[in-house]
């Protein structure tokens, strides 16, 4: 294992423990209101995924770890979009989030059903639910909701609009190749040099770490979870490791709120 990989995994463990503590503190908020519930979903998903990344890298499953890093980054971007929508129109943002999830479940249900011939009570309920959701959106919005979820945007569009076009182009897309099982050049290079250090590994670790750290910072400020000192210390360690590895062309700010594009 590369020295820097070892340092990233140590920092990831610190952040995971902090996020786990935050989940415990935040859980009672999440059971009381829809907005808090959705925020908790993003926090817990990020924390558990970061832990899974470490497990894979510790077992030398680097490519599989890269796949989960992609999930972490997208989770952080989606969290940003949910906050943006909810801060603008709280009830509509919450409704759109749940509607997108409902459509996903309805789509999955239909795949296992002869939709055209099934007239069972359950299928009637499914069709009625889809009609209800469709009634809340324009024809174009409904298509985007079905395709891209509550953001109504592709991941590329989301990242560009948030000012992260550089990170999408040079880092998010390359690690996405592992998802589609087409990163064969990297695998071939590793065949001849088993200790080869991927040129984007440090960057993907930095973006993964930042994705969860940003969620923790924002929820800590909003709900006064008393984690400012611990998160700030982790953010400073992140800055130092980014400097050592030259992982990013421009660093995340230590308050965890954004990356300068």
Domain-by-domain residue ranges, the chain? 3-87+155-245
**Least confident stretch, 44-58, 87-101, 136-150, 167-181:** 167-181
Kindly give, in sequence order, each residue whose CB lies less than 8 Å from that of residue 49, ignoring residues fewer than 6 positions away. Answer: 68, 71, 72, 75, 212
How far, CA to CA in Å, does 85 sit from each of 17, 90, 145, 153? 29, 7, 14, 13
Cβ within 8 Å of residue 232, ≥6 positions away: 254, 255
The mean predicted confidence, pLDDT, of the chain is 86
Banded pLDDT at 117 (limits 50, 70, 90): low
Identify the three-state secondary structure at position 129. Answer: helix
pLDDT for 63 equals 81
What's the pTM value of the predicted model, to 2 decimals? 0.87
pLDDT band at 173 (very low <50, low <70, confident <90, very high): confident
Q: Tell me: the pLDDT tens digits for 48-93?
A: 999 999 999 999 888 889 889 999 999 999 999 999 999 999 999 9
The two tokens of residue 141 are: 């919005």
Q: Please tell me the distance from the alpha carbon of residue 35 to that of residue 99, in angstroms, as a whole number.
A: 14
User: How many CA within 13 A on the CB side of residue 122?
Assistant: 8
In DSSP notation, 195-228 reads: TPPPTTHHHHHHHHHHHHHHHHHHHHHHHT-S-H
pLDDT band, very low/low/confident/very high, at 252 (cuts 50, 70, 90): very low
2 CA to centre of own chain: 25
Higher pLDDT, 172 or 10: 10
């Amino acid at each position: 294992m590369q020295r820097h990989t070892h340092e990233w995994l140590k920092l990831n463990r610190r952040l995971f423990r902090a996020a786990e503590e935050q989940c415990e503190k935040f859980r009672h908020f999440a059971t009381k209101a829809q907005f808090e519930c959705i925020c908790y979903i993003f926090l817990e998903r990020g924390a558990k995924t970061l832990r899974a990344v470490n497990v894979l890298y510790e077992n030398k499953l680097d490519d599989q770890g890269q796949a989960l890093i992609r999930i972490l980054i997208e989770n952080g971007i989606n969290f940003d979009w949910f906050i943006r929508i909810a801060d603008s129109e709280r009830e509509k943002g919450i409704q759109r989030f749940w509607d997108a999830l409902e459509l996903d479940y309805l789509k999955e249900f239909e795949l296992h059903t002869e939709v055209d011939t099934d007239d069972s009570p359950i299928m009637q309920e499914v069709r009625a639910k889809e009609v209800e959701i469709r009634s809340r959106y324009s024809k174009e919005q409904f298509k985007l909701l079905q395709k891209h979820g509550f953001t109504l945007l592709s991941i590329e569009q989301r990242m560009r609009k948030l000012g992260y076009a550089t990170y999408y182009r040079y880092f998010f897309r390359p690690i996405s190749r592992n998802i589609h099982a087409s990163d064969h050049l990297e695998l071939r290079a590793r065949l001849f040099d088993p200790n080869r250090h991927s040129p984007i590994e440090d960057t993907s670790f930095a973006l993964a770490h930042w994705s969860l750290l940003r969620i923790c910072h924002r929820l800590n400020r909003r709900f006064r979870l008393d984690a400012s000192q611990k998160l700030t210390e982790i953010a400073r360690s992140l800055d130092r490791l980014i400097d050592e590895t030259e992982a990013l062309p421009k660093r995340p700010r230590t308050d965890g709120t954004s990356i300068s594009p």
